[in-house]
């Protein structure tokens, strides 16, 4: 960053630093596993299953602290352009009035030199000098306002940097939480693979990142591990596999409300 300066585009334009940089809120388990095949990666699905069973990660308190700190950051826009415009206007007015005062003084001297009446000129000179004094006072106030705006813009930049650092920390801690939660239910997931159509426990490996089996079977197993409040909608291959199974969808997925896309009500 370049000190306390702002670009000529207007208000504290460094707001653009954070364009496209955000941290999404942790979705509800039903938002991840409520429709199959799931769009989220396996680790996110398993983390959602763990959360649905009330499990929390060891970094959850730190995540709460970071989120609270982020929520407390408030950054009001600072219009440096308006402050600069006011300084420029008062400076220009001072120069104009200085020239007028100088001209009136010259006119008054010239009149005195020839013993001409100078009262009107002196009255104009007094009025112009008063205007100049007022303009100089206004210019000082404008300069002070600009300095305050620059200081506030600098504080805003510091707060934006802090917010970016916090968001980066939050993303990292949430990744840590997902890994931890996914691993916590992985043994149950491995067992669930043996019960769902197309599942193969041998493809599970030691941890979520090692899974190389069928993704639809993995989603079905993740739902079986979870304890979802809402309905589970099955579409495409997921629905076809359940329909072809000899067991009921509720029994296979251990879910109270399973709906096949296009079917009237639960299964």
Q: What is the pTM of this model?
A: 0.72
Of 1.10.3470, 1.20.1070, 1.10.287, 3.90.1280, which CATH number belongs to 56-179?
1.10.287
Read off the pLDDT of residues 244-263 as tens digits, 9 standing for 90 and up.
988 889 999 999 899 987 44
- Total length of the chain: 267
Strands (E), the chain: 35-36, 232-234, 258-260
193 neighbors 213 (Cβ within 8 angstroms): yes
Q: Where in the chain is the domain with CATH 1.10.287?
A: 56-179
Q: How far apart are CA 27 and CA 18, in angstroms?
A: 22
259 neighbors 267 (Cβ within 8 angstroms): yes
**What sign has the CA pseudo-torsion 59, 65, 68, 72?**
negative
Residue 126 — very low, low, confident or very high, per pLDDT cuts 50/70/90? confident
Average pLDDT, integer, range 217-229: 95
Tokens 């009107």 appear where? 120
Average pLDDT, integer, range 81-98: 92
pLDDT at 264 over 60: no
pLDDT at 12 over 60: no
């Amino acid at each position: 960053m370049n000190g306390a300066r702002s670009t000529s585009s207007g208000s504290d334009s460094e707001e653009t630093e954070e364009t496209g940089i955000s941290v999404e809120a942790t979705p509800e388990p039903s938002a991840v596993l409520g429709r199959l095949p799931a769009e989220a990666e396996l680790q996110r699905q398993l983390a959602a299953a763990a959360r649905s069973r009330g499990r929390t990660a060891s970094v959850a308190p730190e995540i709460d602290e970071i989120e609270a700190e982020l929520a407390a950051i408030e950054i009001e826009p600072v219009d440096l352009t308006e402050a600069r415009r006011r300084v420029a206007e008062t400076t220009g007015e001072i120069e104009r009035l200085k020239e007028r005062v100088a001209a009136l003084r010259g006119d008054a001297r010239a009149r005195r030199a020839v013993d001409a009446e100078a009262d009107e000129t002196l009255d104009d000179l007094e009025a112009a000098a008063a205007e100049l004094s007022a303009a100089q006072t206004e210019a000082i106030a404008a300069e002070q306002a600009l300095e305050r705006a620059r200081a506030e813009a600098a504080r805003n930049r510091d707060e934006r940097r802090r917010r970016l650092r916090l968001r980066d920390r939050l993303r990292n801690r949430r990744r840590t939480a997902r890994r931890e939660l996914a691993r916590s239910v992985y043994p149950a997931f491995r067992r669930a693979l043996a019960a769902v159509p197309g599942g193969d426990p041998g493809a599970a490996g030691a941890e979520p990142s090692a899974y190389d089996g069928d993704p639809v079977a993995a989603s079905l197993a993740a739902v079986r591990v979870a304890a979802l409040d809402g309905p589970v909608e099955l579409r495409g291959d997921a629905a076809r596999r359940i329909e072809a199974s000899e067991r009921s969808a509720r029994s296979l997925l251990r879910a109270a409300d399973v709906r096949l896309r296009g079917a009237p009500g639960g299964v």
